[in-house]
Each structure stands twice: as C-alpha cells, then as structure tokens.
C-alpha cells in the first residue's frame, strides 16, 4: 500500500458465532482500498477485535459497512462476557499510521458518528483525542456501568451522547468512537483461577492505581469530593483482572504508549508481583497486531546476543520471552503491523 494510511480497530460484542464474525470480516474485505489484517475473537470475552488498514476514505466506508452487519446480527439482550462493553459495536477507534495526522483521524471519527447516528439510530460518544469533554477522554469512564447501566446513564445530563438519540436501544446499546495513538492490547495469564489476584496485580501496575482506603476499608474522599487513589507503577497503562477461561485468570492490559511502558516491562513486573503471592506466569496473549518497534524493544531485552541479532531474531526472542507462542502458534508475518501490511 502507498499513500496515506489509517488503521481502524473496531471491537464487536460477538466472539462465538463464526457466521456473524465471518460476515463482519467480509464487510471489511469487500471495500476497495482496505486490507483486513486480523480478526481476534474470544469466546469468554464474547468479543471480536477487527484490525484493518487503508486509505482514510476507504477505512471509513469499511467501518460503516462492518457496523451495519454487526447491528443487524448482534442482540445485546442476549450478550454476556468477561470484557466490559456498552454495545454491539462497542468501540471504533481511528489511528494514524502514515501521512495522516491525529486531527485527520478526529475528523474521521466525527464523520463516522454523524453517518452512523443517522443511518443506524445509535447513541455515540466521542473519546480519546476526539473527546469534547475531559470526562469522556478515557474509554473506561464511558464504559462505566456497562451495557446493563446504559439505560440509566442516558438519562444523566452529563452523559448525553455526542451523536444520536438519548433513548436506550436494548438491542444495539451504544458505541464509542475516537482517534488515538497506536495501542497494544496485551494479556498475561497466571496459574490461578483467582480473578481477584489478577485484579490486585493490575491495580498495582496500571496508571490509575487503586482507591485509597482508611483502616476500616472505606474510600477516602479528597477535598475535591472525589475518591483519592494510590497511583500505579506505570504510565500509559490500563489494566484489569479478567478470566481467560474457567481455570485461568489474566491481567488484561492496554499499552497506550509502548515507548513509555513496553511489553517486556509489564510482563516482568507481573512476574515479580505474581511471585510475591506464590503465582507464576503461564503465557502471554497479543490481541490483534503490534508495531514492529514494540517487539524489537522486547526482543532486545530477551535476546542473549543483541548486537548480532537480526530484526527477525529479535522479534522471535520477544515472542518467546513474552510467551506469545504458548497458547497457539504465533505468525510474525501476520501479527506485526508493518510486516502484515507489506505482505498484503
């Protein structure tokens, strides 16, 4: 591909019905100027993460086409899964890759919202760089209360959608759309079925940390009326404890800036915190794709002979060190963004 490139990574609340997932992928592949790089589906999360790249105009068209299929196929009244969500088309982020500015992606998000709100009649919130108020910059804040609390949330003047109706649509829920930097979705599995243990580790690491509590366990409220927090160890990191399957808890993360907090950095910190409570890491899991620089950085940490290692050697060292090939084979040609785009 040559010319301007935008990545879009919509998350759909369907991870179990292969026909629906395939139809969503076909909607993306059917748009000229877009390459479908990956579909990562999880049954326990009941969620599919679709990664596409292409020209800005084509990516917008593909995002709308896949949204249409998802809204026709997914009924949120029947949905339950481990991952937080507010709707059938849960989030649609636009990400600048080449010869495209962040402001260009903000305009793409706004264009998506305007068209989708009119065409599909769904409430839509702008988040991240496209947010119009500080309270909507963070996706977890928009998702707070999840789908089950959405009907009540829509009655709150503070949470009037940026686009679309304020009425609750029980079938489709709501959508968040925005523009953001490249994000790496990465999970680390532990040898325990204790979700609370994974969540405690997540609280120690994530930027937002944990609530500060008094000696009887009550939240401490600051002078601004908000609960005080104990900051986490790392910047640019979102994390929570989830279940990978019935017997495996995981620390589920979004690395918002891998140059600030890298894959190997969080992995080794999780290993350290897990060992303190008698637990071990069993595997790593990359959701979707990752940029080459992020894996090279991890590879330099894990490779024994960095000076003589090629890029391919360093990437393989990262795969092994992070345990990305334990759950299933890891195809670097398909999972590294730059290599996948070149192959396409």
Radius of gyration of the chain (CA): 20
Q: In the beta sheet, which residues pair with residue 38?
A: 51
Write down the catalytic residue from 83, 258, 264, 303.
83
Here the tokens at position 54 are 């292409």
Query: Is there a catalytic annotation at residue 303?
Result: no
179 backbone dihedrals φ, ψ, rounded to 5°: -125, 135
Question: Which of 150, 147, 149, 129 is CA-nearest to residue 138?
Answer: 129
* Secondary structure percentages of the chain, helix, strand, coil, to 5: 40, 25, 35
Contact status, residue 63 vs residue 105, Cβ threshold 8 Å? no
d(CA 268, CA 280): 11
Contact status, residue 91 vs residue 10, Cβ threshold 8 Å? yes
Active site residues: 83
């Amino acid at each position: 591909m040559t010319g301007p490139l935008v990545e879009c990574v919509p998350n759909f609340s369907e991870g179990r019905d292969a026909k629906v997932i395939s139809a969503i992928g076909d909607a993306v592949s059917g748009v000229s100027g877009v390459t479908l790089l990956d579909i990562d589906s999880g049954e326990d999360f009941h969620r599919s993460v679709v990664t596409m790249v292409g020209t800005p105009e084509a990516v917008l068209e593909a995002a709308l086409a896949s949204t249409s299929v998802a809204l026709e196929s997914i009924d949120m009244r029947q949905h339950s899964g481990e991952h937080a969500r507010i709707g059938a088309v849960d989030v649609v982020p636009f990400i600048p890759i080449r010869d495209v500015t962040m402001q260009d992606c903000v305009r793409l998000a706004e264009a998506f919202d305007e068209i989708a709100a009119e065409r599909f009649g769904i409430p839509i919130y702008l988040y991240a760089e496209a947010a119009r108020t500080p309270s909507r910059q963070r996706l977890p804040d928009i998702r707070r209360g999840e789908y089950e609390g959405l009907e009540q949330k829509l009655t709150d003047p503070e949470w009037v959608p940026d686009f679309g109706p304020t009425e609750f649509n029980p079938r489709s829920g709501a959508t968040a759309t925005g523009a953001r930097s490249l994000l790496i979705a990465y999970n680390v599995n532990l040898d325990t079925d204790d979700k609370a243990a994974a969540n405690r580790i997540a609280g120690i690491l994530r930027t937002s940390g944990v609530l500060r509590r008094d000696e009887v366990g009550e939240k401490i409220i600051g002078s601004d009326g908000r609960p005080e927090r104990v900051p986490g160890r790392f910047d640019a990191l979102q994390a929570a404890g989830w279940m990978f399957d019935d017997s495996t808890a995981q620390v589920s993360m979004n690395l918002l800036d891998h140059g600030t907090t890298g894959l190997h950095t969080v992995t080794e910190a999780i290993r350290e915190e897990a060992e303190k409570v008698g637990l071990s890491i069993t595997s790593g899991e990359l959701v979707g794709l990752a940029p080459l620089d992020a894996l090279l950085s991890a590879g330099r940490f894990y490779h024994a002979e960095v000076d003589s290692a090629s890029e391919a050697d360093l990437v393989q060292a990262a795969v092994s060190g992070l345990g990305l090939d334990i759950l299933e084979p890891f195809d670097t040609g398909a999972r590294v963004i730059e290599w996948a785009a070149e192959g396409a």
